[in-house]
Amino acid sequence: MIEKDDTKLEIFGFGEEEDDNFYCLVNLKKSPEGIDLKKLSMADPRKFDEVLNSMGCILLLRGDEVEELIKREDINDADLHKELYDLAVQEGIIQ
């Protein structure tokens, strides 16, 4: 199993709107530098998931999805990295 210390939470904007944030839990063993936004922006849309996976993306959520999880009290925004890691474990994404 990937340990929390082997992951990193990256938050980045990707889109027209300033509040189009994405929250990406990254496997640092697979991609120590994290997500390469330049490479990601040039990716073929049909292979977007494949490119994210190759960059070590474990979990990718839009800002509105994170807000909904907080509102439903499924996660707490005090430590989003820990909370999203725990969610990925709970949902079987990280085993």
State the angle between helix axes of 80-90 and 63-71 in degrees (0 to 180), rounded to the nearest 10: 80
Per-residue pLDDT of the chain (95 residues; tens, 9 = 90+): 999 999 999 998 866 666 679 999 999 999 999 999 899 889 998 998 999 999 999 999 999 999 999 999 999 989 999 999 999 999 999 98
Task: Of 13, 2, 16, give the one whose Cα is nearest residue 35.
Answer: 13
Ordered by start, the domain boundaries in the chain are 4-90
